[in-house]
Amino acid sequence: MDETLNNQEDSGYATPFNVDFSGPKSKNFFTEYTIRVLALPESIKNILMDSSTAGFIEENLGPTFNLSPEQKKDVTRIIRDVLLGDISINAMASKISENLEIDPTTAYQVQSKIVSELFGPIINDLQKSQAEPPPQRPAPLAPKYVPAPPRKPEPTASPGNVIDLRNPK
């Protein structure tokens, strides 16, 4: 994995692993993201992080489908989400069509090229990881509702227990 991280620096393209690393992120984001990536099978991690994946997107998919730089970034994000299990392989074409604003037929062709040429060697691992339920993510901390303790009823005064201080007897 360290070698893969080092190879990322060789390419000027974003990999699915680091496509959204620019801009401010919380420390918690990087911690949770790293935990999710480390839980993946090695073969999926390699596709996620390898600069050859970025090269495939930039030099193969981009020219073949005449994708703009922003569309290539969107495809990179979609590939990341599929590899992480956030999007199923079957839903990839509709997500490509929606995010890239291209017709469904072209989106299906993009998906087919990704699945056959990029995911081909890892398709069994990918299908297996997508069949398993995703690991439980901790829910965001929200203040818990704690009901107030019940109030004790005010003691009721009966007429026999009232002392008239104005007219002492």
- For 114, the domain range is 2-131
Reported in sequence order, the residue ranges of 21-167 that DSSP labels E, i.e. its strands, are: none
Q: Is residue 148 part of a domain?
A: no
> Could you give the 3-state DSSP secondary structure of residue 37?
helix
Contact 61, 113 (CB under 8 A): yes
Question: ∠ at Cα 76 (110, 9), nearest 5°?
Answer: 135
Query: Could you tell me the pTM of the whole model?
Result: 0.69
pLDDT of residue 8: 40
- Domain tally for the chain? 1
Domain assignment of residue 97, yes or no: yes
- Give the closest residue to 36 by CA, choosing from 72, 76, 84: 84
Q: State the virtual CA torsion across 126, 115, 36, 18 in degrees, nearest 10.
A: 160
pLDDT at 92: 93
In a domain, 138, yes or no: no
Q: pLDDT tens string for the chain (169 positions)? A: 444 444 444 446 888 888 877 777 777 877 888 888 888 889 998 898 888 999 999 999 999 999 999 999 999 999 999 998 888 888 999 999 999 999 999 999 999 999 999 998 888 888 888 776 555 544 455 555 666 677 766 656 555 666 667 776 6
Q: What distance lies between CA 54 and its chain's CA centroid?
A: 19
Q: Among candidates 160, 63, 147, which has minimal Cα distance to 113? A: 63
Asked if residue 86 is part of any domain, the answer here is yes
